Structure 1
Amino acid sequence: MLQFSKWQVALVAAVVALGAIFAAPNLIPKEQLDRLPGFLPKGTINLGLDLRGGSYLLLGVDTDKVIADRLSGMRQEIQRAMRPSGGRERVALVSLPSVDLEMGTISLRVREPDQADEAARRVRDVTRTGVAFLTAPPYTVSVQGDLIEVRLTPEARRQYAAEALQDSIEVVRRRVDPAGNKEVSIQPQGADRIVIQAPGDNDPEELKRIVNRTGQLSFHRVDPTVSLADAEAGLLPPGRILVPFAASEGPGALVLYEEPEVTGDMVETASAGLNTDGAGFQINFSFDSRGARRFADYTREHVGELFAIVLDNEIISAPRIQTPIPGGQGRITGNFSPDEAARIATLIRSGALPAPLTTLEQRTVGPDLGADSVRAGTTALVIGFLAVIIYMVATYGRFGVYADMALLANVVLIAGALSLFGSTLTLPGIAGIVLTVGMAVDANVLIFERIREELVAGKGPVNAVETGYRKAWSAILDANVTTFLAALIMFQLGAGPVRGFAVTLATGVVTSVFTAFVLTRMFAGGYLLARRPATITI
């Protein structure tokens, strides 16, 4: 058990060396780090909000609005399904389908009772579309004479709310950190809250402005039959809205059909680029298959008409359709500056927020407070580390030196692992490292005390050390497995600082087992097998 082959020694040395290589960038100034060759690791441990300072936002997600939008969208789909298409006849309705948000129902009444079954069949076809994530249809459909009622199920309501929370997190992440290289933490809290922690960002108002842009893109048909004077006087026909032009497009407004022909969720890509004439900037975009089909059908049927592109209730462009556009790609031209074109493209690309966000809490952590925490945490780590080193040498002599060498390797491996995975270090994370330092030597204490017992029992040095490591292994494994499981549970259920503590604790458990049981055993075995001492003191 004490014998290590050459390749095993090389493997252990390689693991420690890799840890040192990945930990080294933390000791190099950023300016010099950027000048290093690309093949060298440059990842460092990120400092959390409590250590570096920054902005903290707690946002509430209005999931009720999501349910209302789902019902409204389904009402439009049902209304479309009643129209003639593909050889099917039109199903005449007494009035437009009505929505009861409180009850979660959509009601429609057919004009001819003998068409009720056909209408119900079309409604069922529409409500079963795109619901693979549910074990049952999201809507129940009931028919009573000429009245058809569509009701959202409780399971679908919960699923849509959970989906809105995750989609909101993803949209916020793409807006706050579009390149994916910032140290921003965006986590869910409960069923309808989002926590944003942005270390180094001391302007929560700017962060709120970026996050709270709705980003709602839609493409609308223009109604030229209604005069602006009538529209401004409030004389709008049903299903029409008056929408102003964005500031970049100048004053004015257009009367649009309220129901969009294509919506922003059908846009797959968006990017800023130069106009074809080289003057100014435009936004290039492409649709998914569903949007491409709708866009192609609409442009084919309305050549020569204006087509308004609306972002957050403002018309950003209203081009005239020159020819059908069947390829699912288009461009938004206008008087855009480079920054504005890039900002609009980012909003379109990140998608619209599925639900309004409200700020429940915001605070700024000053960098001075974070610096004090770093100093206090570093001081605690250094004092604890030195105290353990002195105690181990004073208590176990040569074997204490081996334990201290392994302890140093353990800290290096933890730093290397945290740097490799780009982990964020918080104040509780420093506490986790300090705890790991004590746990690392705890395993060696178990081993060394077991070796003492074997020496007292009269065994020789090699046999006693070998037996001590073998018999202590089960206790070391049990203790570290239970600690590791506790860290996993904290990571899964916790948030923010709790997760930081769990990450460093779990990482330290893995590295401490390696250094305490493998590294010290290699040192002790190398000494005993090479020197063959008649007695040892431990």
Structure 2
Amino acid sequence: MLHIPLWKRVVIWALCALGLFMALPNAFYPRVELHNDAVKAIEISGETPELLADQSAWPDWMPSSLVNLGLDLRGGAHLLTEVRVEEVYKTRIEGMWAPIRDLLREERATVGTIRLQDGPDDELRIRISQPEGMTRALEVVRSLAQPVVTLSGVGASDIEVTGQGDILTVRLSEQERAATDDRTMQQSLEIIRRRVDEVGTREPTIQRQGSDRILVQVPGLGSAAELKAILDVPAKLEFKPVVGAPTRDADASPGIGNELLPSVEDEGLFYIVERAAVVTGEELTDAQPSFDQNNRPAVSFRFNPSGARKFGDYTAENIGSPFAIVLDEEVISAPTIQSHIPGGSGIITGQFSVEESTELAVLLRAGALPAGLDILEERTIGPELGQDSIDAGKLACIVAFAAVLVFMVLSYGLFGLFADIALLINVGLIFGLLSAIGATLTLPGIAGIVLTIGMAVDANVLIFERIREELKTAKGPSRAISLGYEKALSAILDANITTFITAVILFAMGSGPVRGFAITLGLGILTSVFTAIFVTRIMIVIWFERKRPKTIEV
């Protein structure tokens, strides 16, 4: 018979109230968004009267999680980039010169003197003065080979070492190139994500496309040019030994294994530095804007244990020698090492403004992109177009909603009205769940919500039609309602479980808009089953307990 225990009633209404409470901020979207932006800004830069005023736009005790709007609804920037993965080969090969040089020097009696030779960017060519020692040289250099750590590269080495005459050649193996490409893409994805998140934008879409492309979509950003400015800055920090005296000859020959880099502080001055860095920005653990001893803007940094050890060892062994701090192929400072610098911390000084030191610290924390990016496609979606999409989505939802509400009341009378109330709660629960998980709503997501509205009504139709059938045979309305819910349950679950499986597959296999559709569809299925089975039933039970009708019409 019709009976729902008190504890179940409390749980059902509590879940509905909680879902609607979580969805409430979306009804005041601009105010809550202003409040959230102010809270983030205060955490980063401290309190100001303007930020405190913005923060007070929404009470702190109220939930402030919003459904994030996607690029097609909010407007923003869209970039399709291609990663120049070949650049990493050159860096890897250059980094191998120092250990190879040290090993071959220990075999000087056999191989003679060694000299680095010019060659392609992805090859390391070394001339030995005693060609008869080539076999030993190959054996020594091959001892540096490491196994390729990928499923497709099992049993392969990361380098190929060959010798012809007096020239020893080292290059990356094909398996290692493939593994390097994959690592480069993963690192680029993570660094791009960190850089975009540091700027404070909301829910960016950053996805790998194909073997060497990355799609970046940032809702709410003013233009694609702003996004390019964030991504184009390499922020590659290196600490390199200075070789010889500075020069003002831009065409001076740095020598093999060295390079000529311009000075930032003195225009027209060039430093000759070793191509291989002692420590790089990849070994930084933190970078913060600060001030130097003369109260000028600077950036303080700290290395990880590996970088701290290398930095400390080098400064201990080279006291009195100049040391170049290189940022993006420019020498920003070349101080002389006065003493051993243990601990792995230091400060970068230069002609910075406060804004420049802050921006540099952000970029160094995010890390340097392992390879350059080529912009293949850029697009700016204006907020007006996004607003048009929101208006169109609202209109679609309102029309669908109104048509369903009218249909249910005309078809099922009072029971249809109960279904309409449950439908309103259902939509509120969807937005509450979307807000709670921080999901991004796109036009396909709105389509998923509209589809959910139809499916939620479908469950109620099954129940009400079953009640109609039971009224013809059951002994009374109470028994008919109870049997109607019991016998319709299997059909409702079958239909919704199969649709939910489809939503899970779409989410797992799809990307971007497809995932947005799958998320709203999946959440809508959960809420529609909940409201159809529990919410409408509890409303009917409460009505029946109060009215005690002898007959009912559905």
Describe the shift of the 1:155–1:142 C-alpha distance in structure 2 as closer, same or farther (beyond 3 A). closer
Is the partner of 1:481 in helix, strand or coil? helix
Fraction of identical pairs, as percent: 43
- Alpha-carbon deviations, 1:279-328, whole Å to 9, x = none? 21111111112211111111011111111011111111111111111211
Q: Distance in 2 between matches of 1:477 and 1:89?
A: 81
Contact residue 240 and residue 323 of structure 2 kept, 8 A: yes
Q: Distance in 1 between matches of 2:255 and 2:161?
A: 32
Unaligned runs of 5+ in 1: none
Q: How does 1:65-76 map to 2 (within 5 A)?
A: 65-74=87-96, 76=98
Instruction: Output the amino acid matched with 2:202.
Output: K
Contact residue 500 and residue 525 of structure 2 kept, 8 A: yes
Instruction: Output the amino acid matched with 2:415.
Output: F
Q: How does 1:384-533 map to 2 (within 5 A)?
A: 384-529=400-545, 531-533=547-549
TM-superposed CA distance for 1:500, in Å, is: 2.1
Contact residue 413 and residue 511 of structure 1 kept, 8 A: yes
Contact residue 147 and residue 155 of structure 2 kept, 8 A: no
1:44 maps to 66
1:16 maps to 16
Q: Distance in 1 between matches of 2:169 and 2:541?
A: 79
Describe the shift of the 1:328–1:117 C-alpha distance in structure 2 as closer, same or farther (beyond 3 A). same
Describe the shift of the 1:355–1:145 C-alpha distance in structure 2 as closer, same or farther (beyond 3 A). closer
1:252 maps to 269
Contact residue 201 and residue 221 of structure 2 kept, 8 A: no
Describe the shift of the 1:78–1:134 C-alpha distance in structure 2 as closer, same or farther (beyond 3 A). farther
Is the partner of 1:177 in helix, strand or coil? helix
Contact residue 189 and residue 195 of structure 1 kept, 8 A: yes
**RMSD over aligned Cα atoms:** 3.2
Contact residue 332 and residue 350 of structure 2 kept, 8 A: yes
Is the partner of 2:350 in helix, strand or coil? strand
Q: Distance in 1 between matches of 2:247 and 2:410?
A: 91
Q: How does 1:29-428 map to 2 (within 5 A)?
A: 30-31=30-31, 33=35, 34-35=55-56, 36-74=58-96, 76-84=98-106, 95-96=115-116, 111=130, 116=135, 120=139, 123-125=142-144, 127-128=146-147, 136=155, 138-139=157-158, 152=172, 154-178=174-198, 180=200, 182-224=202-244, 228=247, 232-246=250-264, 250-277=267-294, 279-428=295-444
Tell which deviates more after alignment, 388-397 or 160-169: 160-169
Instruction: Output the amino acid matched with 2:319.
Output: V
Contact residue 2 and residue 479 of structure 2 kept, 8 A: no
Unaligned runs of 5+ in 2: 36-54
Describe the shift of the 1:308–1:125 C-alpha distance in structure 2 as closer, same or farther (beyond 3 A). same
Contact residue 140 and residue 151 of structure 1 kept, 8 A: yes
Q: Distance in 2 between matches of 1:151 and 1:249?
A: 38
- Alpha-carbon deviations, 1:381-418, whole Å to 9, x = none? 01110110111111122221221111111110111112
Is the partner of 2:194 in helix, strand or coil? helix
Contact residue 160 and residue 172 of structure 2 kept, 8 A: no
Q: Distance in 2 between matches of 1:130 and 1:251?
A: 46
TM-superposed CA distance for 1:353, in Å, is: 0.7
Contact residue 221 and residue 261 of structure 1 kept, 8 A: yes
- Alpha-carbon deviations, 1:476-518, whole Å to 9, x = none? 2232222223223333333332222222212211211111122
- Alpha-carbon deviations, 1:146-194, whole Å to 9, x = none? 9987664555433322222221122112222206553432222233222
TM-superposed CA distance for 1:107, in Å, is: 7.1
Is the partner of 1:335 in helix, strand or coil? coil
TM-score w.r.t. the length of structure 2 is 0.86
